[in-house]
Amino acid sequence: MTKAASAAAKDLAAAGAGGVHLAWADNNGIPRSRIVPVDGLADAAARGIGATTLFAVFDSHDAITYAHPGLATPSGDLRLVPVVERIRRLTGQPALAWAPAWQRTVNGAPSPYCQRSVLERQVAEAARRGLEFRAGYEMEFMVTAGDAPGHPGPAYSPHALIGLDAFVAALLHDFAGNGLRIGQLHAEYGAAQLEVSLAATDPLSAADDQLLARQTIHAAAHAHGLRVSFSPVPDLDTAGNGWHLHTSVRRKGRNLLAGTGLPDADGAAYLGGLLRDLPALTAITAPSVPSTLRLRPGFFAGAYGFWGVENREAPLRYVPGSAMLGESHANVELKASDASANPYLALAVVLAAGMAGIEDGVAPPAPIGEDPGTWSEAERETRAVRPLPASPAEQDAALLACPRVSEVLGEDLLGAFRAVRASDAQWAAERTPEEIVAAHRWRY
């Protein structure tokens, strides 16, 4: 690894890069990083660079909570180790490169608070069971120019983006330069909202790509006098930003979700596993106070626990294959997912819940093609369609009630994660929705 890091450092220096971001996401989904000089990259790959263990208990407002017994004092150190094979020179920031980082103990073992290691364990478990996953993100974000909306709409219109031509061109150029493959980029439904779809890949790369895409978008926006918000709710009066997570699962190369109608037994069980644990999943995939403000009926956000075939109100949207795309294109989209989720943890719990569904042969109920938000409470109760957790307390209860999800994190990380959520909830309890939205608008 040191030899590969030395070679990468040599190439980066020749290209004019002076430093490398060692990046990770904390338990609020907020990217953090340390920059190491290029000539120190090989040493960082061998010995890591120091950082406090307390990053695991930073809340969304950079306050440190000591409520988790495992991190109850300011003492302790971890080592950030670059994932050398994922180093990318940043096309939009050519003096810098970027790499995701492992969090290691001072003895070199994976830190119990390393979210990337949590996902790595689930990928290894999938391989042990003969399963292979693919994952990709659709990332929505709001664009502003000073205090003005970045584009005037209409939603999905090419006209909306004319004023953003230079920014759009930079995104396409920088994404390609940074090795990020995208499916599409367009003006979305919300006010001044855009969406970019990342190509599906293996789960660890998908989580890495999500972090790198954020860095790429922020830098391109800054270069063009713009600012972007990835917050789940950048404005109370418009649709929020979802980061829809698409997954599929394969056995011996065959997509278990494949088909042009409904999936077969194993594919249905994967979907059934996600549905069974959906309340607990969303405590990880949409964990912030703004997340609960986003999950409103009628906003394609997935406010109720059900699934549907191509139903954009469903938190679990089954996307079947087709004659044009092929049967193997089939996947499941999780809509109750946003930028406040750590991408490694989000993918780890989705994989775990889906694998448990396959193991247990969970049969999902019939799909729903309507918006349950338009039904009466009695109709929803008859169909066993219930709201997803709508407060930090409800999310915490759902998480603790589901060991299939909570145990994925491990005791230490789960304790830190819950302490951070409790700190955020205490902060929000004293503030209005408008104050909550404003405080989170630029955090991600």
Q: What is the pLDDT of residues 261-275, one digit of tens each?
A: 889 999 999 999 999
Q: Average pLDDT over the chain, rounded to whole?
A: 96
User: Comparing C-alpha atoms, which of 150, 240, 279, 190 is closest to residue 433?
Assistant: 240
Q: What is the pTM of this model?
A: 0.97
**How confident is the model at residue 259, as a pLDDT?**
82
Question: Average pLDDT for residues 171-181, to the nearest whole number?
Answer: 98
**How confident is residue 299, by pLDDT bands cut at 50, 70 and 90?**
confident
**How confident is residue 237, by pLDDT bands cut at 50, 70 and 90?**
confident
> 2-114, which class in CATH?
alpha beta
**How confident is residue 260, by pLDDT bands cut at 50, 70 and 90?**
confident
**How confident is the model at residue 316, as a pLDDT?**
97
Question: Average pLDDT for residues 207-228, to the nearest whole number?
Answer: 98
Q: Would the pLDDT of 1 be above 80?
A: no
Q: How far apart are CA 328 and CA 429, in angstroms?
A: 46
Domain topology for 120-440: Creatine Kinase; Chain A, domain 2 (3.30.590)
Q: Would the pLDDT of 170 be above 80?
A: yes
Of all residues in the chain, the percent with pLDDT exceeding 90 is 93
Question: Average pLDDT for residues 82-108, to the nearest whole number?
Answer: 98
Query: Could you tell me which residue, 300 or 420, shows the higher pLDDT?
Result: 420
Q: What is the C-alpha radius of gyration for the chain, rounded to an integer number of angstroms?
A: 21
pLDDT in tens, 304-352: 999 999 999 999 999 998 888 888 889 999 999 999 999 999 999 999 9
**How confident is the model at residue 309, as a pLDDT?**
96
**How confident is the model at residue 340, as a pLDDT?**
98
Of all residues in the chain, the percent with pLDDT exceeding 70 is 100
Q: Would the pLDDT of 203 be above 80?
A: yes
Domain ranges of the chain: 2-114, 120-440
Question: Average pLDDT for residues 391-398, to the nearest whole number?
Answer: 98
Which residue pairs from 258-267 have beta carbons closer than 8 angstroms and sit at least 24 positions apart in sequence? Answer: 258/321, 258/327, 258/328, 258/330, 259/320, 259/321, 259/327, 259/330, 260/320, 260/321, 260/322, 260/323, 260/327, 261/320, 262/309, 262/318, 262/320, 262/367, 263/318, 263/320, 263/330, 265/361, 266/358, 267/330
The CA angle 152-154-155, to the nearest 5 degrees, is 110
Phi then psi dihedrals of residue 188, to 5 deg: -95, -170
**How confident is the model at residue 323, as a pLDDT?**
83
Q: Which residues of 260-292 are buried (b: 16+ CB within 10 A; e: fewer)?
A: eebbeebbbbbbbbbbbbbbbbbbbbbbbbbbb
Give the least confident one: 27-31, 221-225, 284-288, 300-304.
300-304
Phi then psi dihedrals of residue 274, to 5 deg: -65, -45
Question: Average pLDDT for residues 51-62, to the nearest whole number?
Answer: 98
Q: How far apart are CA 51 and CA 78, in angstroms?
A: 5
Query: Could you tell me which residue, 19 or 327, shows the higher pLDDT?
Result: 19
**How confident is the model at residue 262, as a pLDDT?**
85
Question: Average pLDDT for residues 87-108, to the nearest whole number?
Answer: 98
Give the least confident one: 98-112, 154-168, 295-309, 335-349.
295-309
Distances, alpha carbon 254 to alpha carbons 134, 211, 249, 250, 329, in Å: 12, 29, 8, 5, 11
